Structure 1
Amino acid sequence: MKIDDMAAFAAVVRLQSLSQAAEALQLTQSAVTRRLQNFEEALGVELLDRHTKPLKPTPIGLRVYEQCRVVLREIDALRELVASDAVPSGALRLGVPQTVGDTLLLEALQRLQETYPELHVQVSSGWGSGLLKRLESGELDAVAALFPAGKVFPEGLVGQSLARMNLVVVAPRGFASRKHYRLAECQQHGWILNPDGCGFRAGLQRALAEQGLNLAVNLEIFGTDLQLGLVANGMGLGLVPLPLLEGSRHRERLEVLNVTDFKPVIDLWLVRAAFVGNLQGAVDLVGEVITRRLGGTPPTVPAA
């Protein structure tokens, strides 16, 4: 029985797809098929029901899969013992939402290239929840994303909060005619927001619903910088983490509204697989650069 055969079986069950498992393992589909056959022959049982689509394990296959997960975690832990201090090399698969990627990613990538020239960084963008699922499935090594304070992550993932940020309502400079506003009054002017799936938008929508109001969206568009430029041009109101506003090139054309009944707070988390081997130093460097960029103190103890 070979570990590679076991890993191929676990990947097929986890992803429910031979092609996706092959992509995740960086193998051809025929190679994955051979490893599955080898594993079944070694155990003397049929592990997959090949008549179902997507692929599903047989009853005994499901029990074998659960045991394989335990074995593979222990093997990862063993590899971690000897690899975690090694110089980062190979590929680092990093997930970052576009909300913060435009502002925080450039410096982090530059530092990684300067510090670890043998490392190749692959960046994926998407909503935080989707990136987290990809991290769980082994498609990514680490994710920097915005989640609520106190977020509990799935087993096998380790998260550390890099910064706690206030979300602020922004308007064109000169917009405010008084010191205080209520959310219902802001709603009348419409919003410039990310499309559905954005946590900022979902939180705003919940707050409005609690007041019996529907979300009025003037423009749906990706990218904090572009959104702030449109707000500055008077196209609607925006919702943005305060540190990203302060670092924006549009800052002088914008002002923060004091909305008394809407003061959301969100954390920027760095989440990684429990075992990342020789990529640990690179993941730590990403966290340090982002924390410094946001004006915080690099955390020393990750929250499990």
Structure 2
Amino acid sequence: MKIDDIDAFVEVIRCQSISHAAESLQLTQPAITRRVQNFEQALGVELFDRNTKPLKPTLIGTRVYEQCRLILREMDALRELVATDAPPTGVLRLGVPQTIGDVVLLDALKHLRTEYADLRAQVATGWGSQLVGKIERGELDAAVALFPAGKIFPDNVVGESIGKMELVVVCAKAQLPKKPCKLADVYQNGWILNPDGCGFRAGLQRTLSDQGLALRVNLETFGTELQLGLVADGLGLGLVPRPLLERSAQREHLAVMPLKDFKPVMDLWLIYPHFLGNLQGPVDAFGQWVAASLHKVREVA
């Protein structure tokens, strides 16, 4: 019974596909099939119902899968035990939200290159839920993401809150109400938001729904600066992190909507798998530099 066979078995169940498992492990499909068959022969049981599509585990296969996850976790712990003291080298796979990547990355990557010269950063962007999924699947070593305080992460993902980020509703200066108001007073103006999948948009939609109000999207587009430009032109309301508003070229043409019943604050989370070995130091430092970058933006503003 080999660890490689266990790894292949777990990946096939996770991906529900031999081809996707092969791609994930960078092996051929025949190699994955052979490893799974070797594992079944070693145990003397059939682990998959091969008459189903997508491929599904048998009842005993599901129980074996749960045990194998524990075994692989312990193997990770063992590797970490012997690897922690070695200097970090190779690739550090990082993830950042699309919304704040242009604000936090430049300084953080510069510090990483200076402090860890033998590490090469590889960066992916995505929504918070996508980044968590990539951590779960072992596709990233760490990520920063925006979630509400008290966010509960999957068992194999560690989450550390490293800062707070205020979100603000913005409008064109000419559209600013003369006195504080509520969402119900302005929601019909419509919104300029990120496409579906954005946590900011989902939070706004929940708040509106709780009040029996509909989310009216005038325009959806990626890019905070583009959104703020459209808001400044009077095409709708925007919802952005305050640090991004403060550094925007559109800042002088915008105003923060004084809403009495909607003042969202998100936590900035550093997320990573339980066992990082000698990458733990660089990951912790990356989180600190990202938090410092956001603080720096507020100070400059």
TM-score (norm. length: structure 1): 0.89
The amino acid of 1:56's aligned partner reads K
- Worse-matched range after superposition: 275-284 or 71-80: 275-284
Distance 1:286 1:249, change over 3 A: farther
- Worse-matched range after superposition: 69-78 or 46-55: 46-55
- Worse-matched range after superposition: 65-74 or 42-51: 42-51
2:39 equivalent in structure 1? 39
**Aligned positions of 1:1-304 closer than 5 A:** 1-295=1-295
Contact persistence 2:161–2:267 (CA under 8 A): yes
Contact persistence 1:102–1:223 (CA under 8 A): no
- Identical columns (%): 64
The amino acid of 2:216's aligned partner reads A
CA distance, structure 2, for counterparts of residue 284 and residue 45 of structure 1? 43
Q: Give 1:160 deviation, angstroms.
A: 0.5
1:302 equivalent in structure 2? none
Q: Give 1:273 deviation, angstroms.
A: 0.7
- Could you report, residue by residue, the CA deviation over 1:228-285 in whole angstroms, capped at 9, with x for unpaired residues? 2222232221111112222333323322121111111111111111112232222212
Q: Give 1:175 deviation, angstroms.
A: 3.3
Contact persistence 2:128–2:147 (CA under 8 A): yes
Distance 1:211 1:47, change over 3 A: closer
Distance 1:21 1:72, change over 3 A: same
The amino acid of 2:83's aligned partner reads A
Q: Give 1:12 deviation, angstroms.
A: 1.1
Gapped regions of structure 1 (runs ≥ 5) = 297-304
Contact persistence 1:170–1:256 (CA under 8 A): yes
The amino acid of 1:245's aligned partner reads L
What SS does the aligned partner of 1:125 have? strand
CA distance, structure 1, for counterparts of residue 264 and residue 165 of structure 2? 9
Contact persistence 2:108–2:293 (CA under 8 A): no
1:301 equivalent in structure 2? none
Distance 1:12 1:164, change over 3 A: same
Contact persistence 1:87–1:281 (CA under 8 A): no
Contact persistence 1:102–1:224 (CA under 8 A): no
Contact persistence 2:181–2:259 (CA under 8 A): yes
- Could you report, residue by residue, the CA deviation over 1:104-139 in whole angstroms, capped at 9, with x for unpaired residues? 223323333333343333333322223222322223
The amino acid of 1:209's aligned partner reads S
The amino acid of 2:31's aligned partner reads A
What SS does the aligned partner of 2:146 have? strand
Distance 1:190 1:270, change over 3 A: same
CA distance, structure 1, for counterparts of residue 97 and residue 291 of structure 2? 16
CA distance, structure 1, for counterparts of residue 93 and residue 30 of structure 2? 25
CA distance, structure 2, for counterparts of residue 92 and residue 25 of structure 1? 18
- Worse-matched range after superposition: 84-93 or 224-233: 84-93
What SS does the aligned partner of 2:74 have? helix
Gapped regions of structure 2 (runs ≥ 5) = 297-301
The amino acid of 2:93's aligned partner reads R
Distance 1:28 1:89, change over 3 A: farther
CA distance, structure 1, for counterparts of residue 264 and residue 131 of structure 2? 22
Instruction: Work out the number of aligned pairs and report it.
Output: 296
1:299 equivalent in structure 2? none
What SS does the aligned partner of 2:111 have? helix
- Could you report, residue by residue, the CA deviation over 1:3-46 in whole angstroms, capped at 9, with x for unpaired residues? 11211111111221112222222222222222222222322322
